[in-house]
Amino acid sequence: MLPQLYRHRWMDEEIEAFREQVRRYIAGELTPHLDGWRRQGYIPRAVWQGFGAMGFLLPELDEAWGGAGANLAYQLVVQDEMTRAEVPAGTTSVHSIAAHYILAYGTDAQKQRWLPRLASGEMLGAIAMTEPGCGSDLKAIGTRARRDGEHYVIDGAKTFITNGFTCNLLVLVVRTGEAGSRGLSLIVLETENLAGFSVGRRLEKLGQHASDTAELTFDGVRVPVDQLLGAKEGQAFGQLMGQLPFERLLIAVPAAMVIEQALEQTVQYCKARKAFGQTLFDFQNTRFKLAEVATLAHIVRSFVNDCTQRLLDGTLDNEAAYMAKWWCTEQQCRATDECLQLFGGYGYMAEYPIARMYADARVQKIYGGANEIMKDLIARAL
Ligand SMILES: Cc1cc2nc3c(=O)[nH]c(=O)nc-3n(C[C@H](O)[C@H](O)[C@H](O)COP(=O)(O)OP(=O)(O)OC[C@H]3O[C@@H](n4cnc5c(N)ncnc54)[C@H](O)[C@@H]3O)c2cc1C
């Protein structure tokens, strides 16, 4: 139903075959369990071992690190297909981001130690930046890592951490030095049986119910100094900024898929549902609304595909990635709202995918850098 989009160079037959493989695996192995996972509020970590065994977790890593040596578009295709199936893409996207920090800033020994286990799904990654007192303003991070001989001793608290309950590897942003951004460092923690580390509440959310979001506490956690990422302390801010374009696309790609899914399901529903002696689709308002959403779907996907090509070419600037993050997520919220309206009361029922799409969409404008922060960053470059 969607117009034929311009095919970028990255969309070759190989990646389309990979997409098909991912789609089939998700339909067979994940979809049947999704309702149960939503009810319990998390996806068991063991699930990702199957995903990893198929080569879907980190296909973009070199073979030496347990990947397939594929390009980053393969990871984005996984996110796309997870979203199509309503499996929360945030779960594997934060996993991928954690791995990319290790890949970009880790020593060979650190890469050897963690990347193959992240690629296989033996380890599930998370990233912990946000604290109860600071989210957007990362410069204010208070969780402290104090050097004590050959260890860091970590005290503090994090909140809203995706995979916080299920992960066993955590990339943690801590303060190792002075106030402000130059005092921040990244430290990797293996969290299983780690003394002083505890998972607090699993937070109840408006949407994304199968994805666990948790509070974490660090009370005198001792970590060997060789788990610092990077050659010296104080580099976290630059390290976090260095991975931004890819991370923003991990949010924009699901936005594109949700709009397409919402459109498809709403068209189907409106053609079947009757009112006043005709189908909902026969009302001019419905047709105009759906034409608008179809246009949005087309533009969002074109933009995201173009950004993907630029990411692979090494020409995706930070500003374009910020634009993709804020704009695509705004369109996602707008489109799911418009579509839900056309379902009437059924659209408000949790058993209808459109209700979940609407609720799941809302956080896209908040996490990964609030959209206002994205606009501020764009404006700085004008
Ligand atoms: C479901 C979920 C999953 C998450 N996963 C993770 C995770 O895995 N790891 C992690 O570290 N964090 C995670 N977060 C946290 C998320 O990144 C933060 O919520 C987000 O960065 C905003 O921070 P905050 O909530 O503290 O809001 P605040 O910083 O208090 O901001 C609140 C609002 O104020 C406005 N605002 C703030 N600053 C500015 C400004 N400079 N200019 C204009 N307006 C501004 C914006 O509207 C913003 O939404 C997650 C959050 C949610 C809800």
Is residue 319 flagged as an active site residue?
Answer: no
Of ligand 1's listed atoms, the one at least distance from the Cα of 365 is 49
CA of residue 301 relative to chain centroid, distance: 17
The answer to whether the CB of 373 is under 6 A from ligand 1 is yes
Q: What does the pLDDT read at residue 243?
A: 85
| Residue pair 201/214 in contact by the 8 Å Cβ criterion | yes
Q: What does the pLDDT read at residue 172?
A: 98
In the CATH hierarchy, which fold is given to the domain comprising 13-124? Butyryl-Coa Dehydrogenase, subunit A; domain 1 (1.10.540)
Of ligand 1's listed atoms, the one at least distance from the Cα of 163 is 8
Task: Spell out the CATH class of 243-380.
Answer: mainly alpha
Q: What does the pLDDT read at residue 137?
A: 95
User: Residue 322: phi, psi to the nearest 5?
Assistant: -65, -40
The answer to whether the CB of 367 is under 6 A from ligand 1 is yes
pLDDT in tens, 237-265: 999 988 888 999 999 999 999 999 999 99
Distance between CA atoms of residues 314 and 344, nearest Å: 45
Q: DSSP secondary structure string, 136-156? A: S-GGG---EEEEETTEEEEEE
User: What spacing in Å lies between the alpha carbon of 136 and ligand 1's midpoint?
Assistant: 5
pTM summary value? 0.97
Distance between CA atoms of residues 62 and 180, nearest Å: 35
Report residues of the chain scoring pLDDT below 50.
none
What is the domain partition of the chain in residue ranges?
A: 13-124, 126-232, 243-380
* DSSP letter assigned to residue 274: E
Protein residue with least CA distance to atom 19, ligand 1: 367
Q: What does the pLDDT read at residue 369?
A: 95
Q: How many CA atoms lie within 13 A of 352 on its CB side?
A: 19
Of ligand 1's listed atoms, the one at least distance from the Cα of 126 is 8
**Closest of 131, 196, 199 to residue 160, by C-alpha:** 131
SS3 content of the chain, % helix, strand, coil (to 5): 55, 15, 30
**Residue found by looking up tokens 């506490």 in the block:** 217
The answer to whether the CB of 157 is under 6 A from ligand 1 is no
The answer to whether the CB of 213 is under 6 A from ligand 1 is yes
Alpha helices by DSSP H, 228-317: 236-242, 244-272, 284-313
The answer to whether the CB of 68 is under 6 A from ligand 1 is no
Residues β-bridged to residue 127: 171
The answer to whether the CB of 329 is under 6 A from ligand 1 is no
Distance between CA atoms of residues 220 and 206, nearest Å: 33
Distance between CA atoms of residues 152 and 223, nearest Å: 5
Q: What does the pLDDT read at residue 306?
A: 96
Most distant pair of Cα atoms in the chain: their distance: 79
pLDDT in tens, 87-120: 999 999 999 999 999 999 999 999 999 999 999 9
User: What spacing in Å lies between the alpha carbon of 362 and ligand 1's midpoint?
Assistant: 12
User: What spacing in Å lies between the alpha carbon of 237 and ligand 1's midpoint?
Assistant: 16
In the chain, the amino acid numbered 225 is: V
The answer to whether the CB of 379 is under 6 A from ligand 1 is no
Q: DSSP secondary structure string, 328-346? A: HHHHHHHHHHHHHHHTGGG
Q: What does the pLDDT read at residue 3?
A: 52
Burial class (CB in 10 A: 0-12, 13-18, 19+), 340: buried
Of ligand 1's listed atoms, the one at least distance from the Cα of 158 is 11
Protein residue with least CA distance to atom 31, ligand 1: 136
Task: Spell out the CATH class of 126-232.
Answer: mainly beta
DSSP SS3 for 265:
helix
Distance between CA atoms of residues 254 and 54, nearest Å: 21
